[in-house]
Each structure stands twice: as structure tokens, then as C-alpha cells.
Amino acid sequence: MVGVNALLTATTLLALSTSSLADDRKCYYPDQTQAIGDVPCGNGTNVACCGSGDICLENGLCIAIEEQPYSLSRKSCTDQHWGSECPGQCLMRTSYNTSWISIVLLTFLDSQANYCCNNVVSSGNSPICLNNIPSFTMGNTNIVPNTNLLAGYVDANSSSTSANNTESSCNATSTASSMSAQNTSATADGQSNNHDAAIGAGVGIPLGLIALASIGWALWERRKLHRVSAAHAAAVAAASQSPPKQEAWTYPNNNNQQTPPTQTQYDPPTGPQPYAGYVDSTAPSATTHQQPIVRSGQSGYSEMASSGPVELDSARRA
């Protein structure tokens, strides 16, 4: 089937290219001057012409989408004398017949479209066609396939019908061989499917185990990293705390050593205590006996030390 369709497609393209190369038809404006660059829209002796980048319509008009401004327009025709096969819009003025002319929408009311040639202007509060030319309407139309911008493209409905007819004729002539080929293909497909399933299982199971092992290893590494990070954070926190400051006691000594102060232990006094009055530190203690001072040639007791009265020498002479 594929081979037949490919052959038909190649034949169609070859025919199109041959016809394009052999097409020597020319296009003309209504004033019978040649429209350089326009291409006939489809086959036939007298047909409308559009630009090579335009979409041709069956009513003889063109839709330009290759460059700005995008527009609907009337262009040229292969009939130099502009007979009935050529588009009949916008032929009422001589200036419109020397070139292509735009067709613009004037109004669209109650599903009715009205068009103007060239441009729309304002008259009071109402739009009118340029040069006060009457507006016109058009019926519905279709595109012309396989020409100009759509060269190489065909209508999907027509191509589907043609392909279905070709397939039907091919199926009618090869039914028996097709049934045999289908049975052989079904058997081969069954064996191929079993073989593919075995290969898939042999490859998929090891890959699944590898994936599970990779996930487990990743989780273990993550827990290990978390523990190391926690221990490092604890060590940094401990190192950042300074120990309490201790006061040093310094005592001058020969060895220049520092010793802490000692506490003196006092025993409480026992028995009755004398009155702790004022004591002259220069007076002799009551419990201490002072020996008399003995000079050389004197006795141990002087006159001053005797217990009797002391007589002076002057009294004694008297």
C-alpha cells in the first residue's frame, strides 16, 4: 500500500512540475497591460491570476498573505480582453484598471457583508466607499487548491477519496495473499513479542535493583553526613565558650611562688576573762618583777628603794 501511494505521489509531483515548466500563459490587467509576476489560478485557457504568494479563490479574487497589507483583492486574468471568465469587480473607473485593486469591508449587518473598491471614507457620520462608488456584495466561495501559494497541496476530501478507491482495488486483487501474509505475520509477531518480553525482563530487573541500591546508598551517605555535621557543630560550640576566670593570689617570697591565703583558726577562750581596758605598752607587766639597778659599789637596795623615809644630807647636818 505504501509503495502504491508513494508512486502516485511522485507521479503527481512530476506532472505538476512538468506542467509548471511548460506553462507559458500570461496575465493581463483590465487595460490589457501585462501583469508581471502574476500566476494563473489553476488550469484552463481563461482563468483569473493572483500573485505567487497569494491564495486563489474560485470567484477570481485573491487573498494576499505574503506581505503587508494582508488583503482581499482583484488582480489580473489570462484573457487579455477580460471576458466573462475574468473577475468582474472594481472595473468602473479607469484608474482601477491599470493595476490590481484592494477590496475592503464596508459593513457587516444581519449576516450580510458589503464591500468597497480601494478604500472607505467618512461622509458626515457614515462610512462610504471612496469616490462615492456604490458598495457590492459577493456570494460564498472556495479556495483553488494546488496552485500559487497552495501549489503542491490538494483538497483533503478529494485526496482521501482517491486514496480509498486505490486501496479498495488493491485489496480486491490481493485478498488471498494478504490473508496468508497476515497469518504468517501473526505467528512471527507472537514469537517476537515473547522474545521482546524476555529481553525486557532481563534488562529491567537488574536496572531496578541497581536503582534501589543507589537510593539506599544515597540515604546512608546523607545520614552519615548529618552525624558528622552535628558533631562538628557541637565541637565548634564547645570551643567558643571560654573557661571561668580565676583570680591569682601573689605573695612575695624568695621563690617567687604564688600561694593562696590560709585561714587562721581561732580557739574560743575558756574561763573568766579580765577586763580588756587600756594597757600601756610601755608599763611593766604586773606579773613581771623588775630587778633594781645596782651600780658599782652599791648594794642591791638603794635609799630610794628602802621602805623608810629618806633624809636629805642638808637635814642631816642641821
Q: Contact, 48 vs 87, CB < 8 A?
A: yes
Quickly list H helices, the chain: 2-22, 156-173, 175-240, 313-317
Q: How far apart are CA 74 and CA 117, in angstroms?
A: 9
What value does the mean pLDDT take over residues 74-90? 95
The pLDDT of residue 255 is above 90 = no
The pLDDT of residue 119 is above 80 = yes
Q: How far apart are CA 236 and CA 107, in angstroms?
A: 84
Residue 187 or residue 77, greater confidence: 77
Mean pLDDT of the chain: 74
Q: Which of 48-52, 86-90, 160-164, 184-188 bottoms out in mean pLDDT, i.e. has the lowest?
A: 160-164
The pLDDT of residue 17 is above 50 = no
pLDDT of residue 75: 96
Collapsing DSSP states into helix, strand and coil, what is residue 113?
Answer: strand
CB atoms within 10 A of CB 28: 19
pLDDT of residue 77: 97
The pLDDT of residue 248 is above 60 = no
Q: Give the confidence band of 211 by pLDDT, cuts at 50, 70, 90.
A: confident
Q: Is the dihedral of CA 134, 139, 140, 141 positive or negative?
A: negative
pLDDT of residue 212: 84
pLDDT of residue 200: 77
Q: Contact, 130 vs 119, CB < 8 A?
A: yes
Model pLDDT for residues 233-244, shown as the tens digit of each residue: 888 887 776 555
Q: How far apart are CA 41 and CA 87, in angstroms?
A: 12
pLDDT of residue 216: 85
pLDDT of residue 302: 47
The pLDDT of residue 28 is above 90 = yes
Phi, psi (rounded to 5 degrees) for 107 = -145, 160
Model pLDDT for residues 269-300, shown as the tens digit of each residue: 665 555 555 455 555 554 444 555 555 555 55
Collapsing DSSP states into helix, strand and coil, what is residue 61?
Answer: coil
Q: Contact, 102 vs 94, CB < 8 A?
A: no
CB atoms within 10 A of CB 318: 6
